[in-house]
A and B are shown apart, each in its own frame.
Chain A
């Protein structure tokens, strides 16, 4: 991974404000736009956007603030989401479909069904989730490009 990191072609960080439901989804929309303009295949864009959307919602629903970074190398896309917030007491439990601690407000928005983290895992090739209770959560996921040509491919 270290060698691949050296070939970083694109790196942008977006701030996410916890509790700001009005703009929830705006960051992942920007991620999608960047990938679309860069000419990534539709399937890669969709998988990355879905995972980014779920991750963005998690920060908005459960954290005070956080940031989402999009990194692009010639061989993979990586998204890193760090937040400062309540954290996750049991990561394995949180990963299981249907488990949710969402408030009524979150559920009214049509979220909080306990599908988010499982959906991130389903749409990505690698996923790492760590959390410290009362401090925050760190999520990283990778989607491999499998030799797909993009504007970031050339040496």
Chain B
């Protein structure tokens, strides 16, 4: 699905990356721990959406490592100014939705978004 579809499904606001709404997104990964993003982030970064409540600049640095396709902040959270600037520099689109993380994931899953990683080994 496209970022535009994700925006519509989640009644989301585009914080940055307005021109990137046709970008294709196939996978999702949800975490409030950056350690988990770094430890579990896999697969095709550019096609992956990070669903998170973390809004400080480290979320951009971590996402940049995986060349993530886009980030959506849940629970109505808004990024800090430094986060926004870094996202623009690194060309990572940012969205914000009022939905909680569970509902965000559920709606996207229902519409066909796949997990970037299904389960952990030995978990």
Contact = CB atoms under 8 A, between A and B. Distances in A.
B110 interface: no
A49 B36 CA distance: 15
A32 B64 contact: yes
Given A29-B64, A32-B64, A46-B65, A109 B58 contact: yes
B34 A110 contact: yes
B61 A25 contact: yes
Contacts of B58: 21, 24-25, 109-111
B35 A115 contact: yes
Nearest to B37: A110
Interface string B29-50: 0011111111100000100000
B34 A50 contact: no
Interface string A17-49: 000011111101100100000000000001001
A21 B58 CA distance: 8
Q: How large is the interface on B (under 10, 10 to 19, 20 to 34, 35 or more residues)?
A: 20 to 34
Contacts of A111: 33-35, 58
Given A46-B66, A109-B56, A110-B54, A115 B36 contact: yes
A113 B61 contact: no
23 contacts: A21-B58, A22-B57, A23-B57, A24-B57, A25-B60, A25-B62, A32-B64, A46-B66, A53-B61, A53-B62, A54-B38, A109-B34, A109-B54, A109-B58, A110-B37, A110-B54, A110-B59, A115-B36, A115-B38, A115-B39, A116-B38, A118-B39, A119-B39
